[in-house]
């Protein structure tokens, strides 16, 4: 089988897996809100993965784009009578614009200083949100965000009242966004990002404008994260100050790393693990986050391809197959220290 | 023959200072098209710094660089690639997790970097650059390893790919920074033939420590010492130049033949 065929099969394979995952959650889970949250943070982690796994950029600014999405949808739905899909689109644009600004400054540096710049932006955004209560509700956040049904000309197509009804909507948005991100990942652009991740010096030397590539990666990442923030705000009905906090960035990063940075679907795995296992553990032990620390240590020390890599090794062993790993699945060994 | 060909690259009074230390203090260089022009000199003479200036990897502190009729002094490296410059690195610098074919495709695509922003179409069809990649693979003798991740290649194969990356861009001028560094004796002849074959279609600027190779394949040799040009000329003239002999250990420059 030639590589192009394998790539195509692989691409659809992931989309099918995502579809199976989306269908399996309502069958196995009690809470529609938790299931929605898994998909929403899955989107945010994919946005983060595009930067970390594909480009080698460790960004602590993801919470900014998430918060921008939340605030934007809260403002548009509570203050202006905009149709909900349009409000969602605006949140995507807000995330993208925020990411363009943060990216434009942060990519001027590499390594530690790049990370510090994204961290500085995250702190600034938090205090900016805090000190503008007229716009963001300050400490209280924005509350009573409505969840209007999908309607055309007064005719309701899809009510979003119950958690599982909303899950259905989130699932469709998720699958479309995932398909689009898969396209990006397999595109000329996505493949060139891998070169930037592997070796920036050479990528520049063979003619690529690294800043432009990184900026575009940032914009796409910000758009997806803004979408996730908006969906989350609609789910909970509030856009809290907490979503602008540094903690959101950290959570998104942790999910991404736990899932694995080799491919985008791994991020859904990371989000599911973090939220579902966290939900379960929190009923057993209120200090469950300690255990999460242990999981992160295990992954950082010896399982750098994340849960996805673990499942893949188990799968390979079960099948006894020794097929060579696809290049993009190879451990991006330099990722951590490069970013 | 080589003197008849036009000047492709000209450096005038190129300087590079790091604080008070002058790595280059006014270097003039004229490289003629379709020749192999070697730059030699003891360690610390400024050869690699000069390379960085010529290819735009680092900015000059003074002087002027004209390439193919354009003043490129202020252009960064990725812009100079569009003008027809390509370089290899002294320390192997490749995309290690990506296959050989993908490395070359990326290098070929680098001449049209706007395409790299296309986030919709996968690199198939014309975008796969199959012709260029196949041609370079054949030239490097790496056809069998086309789908091997570069990190799994031997050192000699990686050194050849290092030259291939420059070649894939189809440049006017190829800058090779010690292409044989760390190579085993068995691989040297392959590399020598590879470089020699380049000057039909390209101009080669070469930094090299192996004097046998330099003296055999160069049309012009520039000798550098302490950030300046010490001497320049045909290999046989350089071999018998007194200043060069005293700057260098005699047997190093002559390959033990003198």
Domains, chain A, in order of start with CATH, read: 3-338 (1.10.3470)
Helices A3-28/A32-49 angle, 10° precision: 150
Judging contacts by C-beta atoms under 8 Å, the chain B residues touching residue A3 are: 147
Q: How far apart are CA A45 and CA A65, in angstroms?
A: 12
DSSP reduced 3-state for A109: coil
Higher pLDDT, B44 or B92: B92
Q: Is residue A27 predicted with pLDDT exceeding 80? A: yes
CB–CB contact B93 A201 (8 Å): yes
CB-based contacts of A327, cutoff 8 Å, min separation 6: A194, B97, B98, B99, B102, B149
Judging contacts by C-beta atoms under 8 Å, the chain B residues touching residue A187 are: 118-123
Residues in chain B: 258
- pLDDT value of residue A82: 85
Helices A163-186/A188-198 angle, 10° precision: 70
pLDDT tens per residue, range A256-300: 999 999 899 999 999 999 999 888 888 888 888 888 888 888 888
Share of chain A above pLDDT 70, in %: 91
pLDDT tens per residue, range B91-124: 999 999 999 999 999 999 998 888 899 999 999 8
CA atoms within 13 A of residue B1's CA, in its CB half-sphere = 6
Across the interface, which of B81, B118, B147 has its CB nearest the CB of A206?
B81
- pLDDT value of residue B250: 53
Q: Which of A285-294, B21-30, B241-250 has the lowest average pLDDT? A: B241-250
Closest by alpha carbon to A206, among B26, B25, B122, B164? B164
Confidence band of B209 (pLDDT split at 50, 70, 90): confident
DSSP state of B249: -
Judging contacts by C-beta atoms under 8 Å, the chain B residues touching residue A335 are: none
Q: How far apart are CA B64 and CA B44, in angstroms?
A: 22
DSSP reduced 3-state for A313: helix
Q: How far apart are CA A46 and CA A181, in angstroms?
A: 8
User: Span A175-197, mean pLDDT?
Assistant: 96
Q: Is residue A3 predicted with pLDDT exceeding 80? A: no
DSSP reduced 3-state for B72: coil
> ∠ at Cα A252 (A267, A56), nearest 5°?
70
What are the C-alpha distances in Å from A66 to residues A92, A95, A242, A249? 10, 7, 11, 8
Q: How far apart are CA B149 and CA B144, in angstroms?
A: 12
Average pLDDT, chain A: 89
Question: How close, in Å, is residue B100 to chain A by CA atoms?
Answer: 11
Q: How far apart are CA A208 and CA B109, in angstroms?
A: 9
Q: How far apart are CA A229 and CA A70, in angstroms?
A: 5
CB–CB contact B127 A188 (8 Å): yes
Confidence band of B249 (pLDDT split at 50, 70, 90): low
Confidence band of A333 (pLDDT split at 50, 70, 90): very low
Torsion sign, CA atoms B77, B78, B84, B88: positive
ipTM of predicted assembly, 2 dp: 0.85
Judging contacts by C-beta atoms under 8 Å, the chain B residues touching residue A195 are: 95, 98, 106
Domains and CATH numbers, chain B: 2-117+124-254 (3.40.50.300)
């Amino acid at each position: 089988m030639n590589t192009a065929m394998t790539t195509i099969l692989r691409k659809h394979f992931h989309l099918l897996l995502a579809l199976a995952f989306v269908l399996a959650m309502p069958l196995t889970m009690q809470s529609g809100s938790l299931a929605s949250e898994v998909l929403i943070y899955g989107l945010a982690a994919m946005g983060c993965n595009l930067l970390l796994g594909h480009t080698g950029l460790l960004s602590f600014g993801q919470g900014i784009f998430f918060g921008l999405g939340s605030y934007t949808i809260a403002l548009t739905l509570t203050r202006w009578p905009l149709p909900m899909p349009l409000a969602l689109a605006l949140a995507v644009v807000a995330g993208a614009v925020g990411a363009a600004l943060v990216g434009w400054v942060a990519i001027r540096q590499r390594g530690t200083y790049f990370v510090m710049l994204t961290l500085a932006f995250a702190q600034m955004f938090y205090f900016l949100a805090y000190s503008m209560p007229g716009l963001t509700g300050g400490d209280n956040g924005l509350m009573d965000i409505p969840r209007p049904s999908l309607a055309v000309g007064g005719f309701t197509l899809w009510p979003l009242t119950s958690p599982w009804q909303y899950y259905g909507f989130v699932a469709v948005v998720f699958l479309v966004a995932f398909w689009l991100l898969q396209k990006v990942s397999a595109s000329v652009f996505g493949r060139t990002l891998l070169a930037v991740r592997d070796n920036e010096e050479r990528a520049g030397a063979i003619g690529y404008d690294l800043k432009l590539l990184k900026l575009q990666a940032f914009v796409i990442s910000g758009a997806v994260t803004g979408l996730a923030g908006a969906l989350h705000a609609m789910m909970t009905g509030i856009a809290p100050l907490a979503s602008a906090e540094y903690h959101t960035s950290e959570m998104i990063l942790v999910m991404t790393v736990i899932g694995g940075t080799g491919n985008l679907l791994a991020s859904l795995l990371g989000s599911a693990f973090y939220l579902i296992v966290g939900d379960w553990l929190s009923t057993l032990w209120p200090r469950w986050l300690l255990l999460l620390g242990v999981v992160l240590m295990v992954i950082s020390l010896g399982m750098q391809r994340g849960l996805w890599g673990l499942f893949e090794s188990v799968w390979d062993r079960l099948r006894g197959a020794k097929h060579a790993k696809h290049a993009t699945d190879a451990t991006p060994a330099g990722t951590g220290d490069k970013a | 023959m080589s003197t008849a060909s036009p000047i492709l690259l000209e450096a005038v009074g190129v300087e590079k200072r790091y604080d008070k230390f002058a790595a280059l203090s006014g270097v003039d260089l004229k490289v003629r098209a379709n020749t192999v022009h070697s730059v030699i000199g003891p360690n610390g003479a400024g050869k690699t710094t000069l390379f960085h200036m010529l290819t735009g990897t680092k900015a000059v502190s003074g002087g002027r660089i004209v390439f193919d009729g354009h003043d490129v002094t202020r252009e960064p490296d990725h812009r100079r690639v569009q003008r027809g410059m390509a370089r290899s690195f002294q320390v192997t610098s490749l995309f290690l997790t990506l296959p050989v074919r993908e490395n070359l495709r990326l290098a070929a695509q680098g001449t049209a970097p706007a395409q790299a922003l296309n986030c919709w179409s996968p690199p198939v069809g014309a975008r796969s650059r199959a012709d260029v990649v196949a041609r370079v693979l054949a030239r490097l003798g790496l056809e069998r390893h086309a789908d091997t991740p570069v990190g799994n290649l031997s050192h000699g194969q990686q050194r050849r790919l290092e030259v291939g990356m420059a070649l894939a861009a189809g440049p006017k001028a190829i800058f090779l920074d010690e292409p044989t560094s760390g190579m085993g004796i068995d691989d040297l002849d392959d590399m020598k033939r590879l470089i020699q074959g380049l000057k039909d279609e390209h101009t080669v600027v070469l930094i090299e420590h192996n004097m046998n190779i330099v003296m055999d394949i160069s049309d012009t040799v520039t000798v550098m010492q302490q950030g300046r040009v010490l001497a320049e000329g045909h290999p046989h003239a350089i071999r018998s130049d007194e200043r060069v002999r005293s700057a260098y250990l005699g047997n190093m420059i002559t390959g033990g033949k003198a």
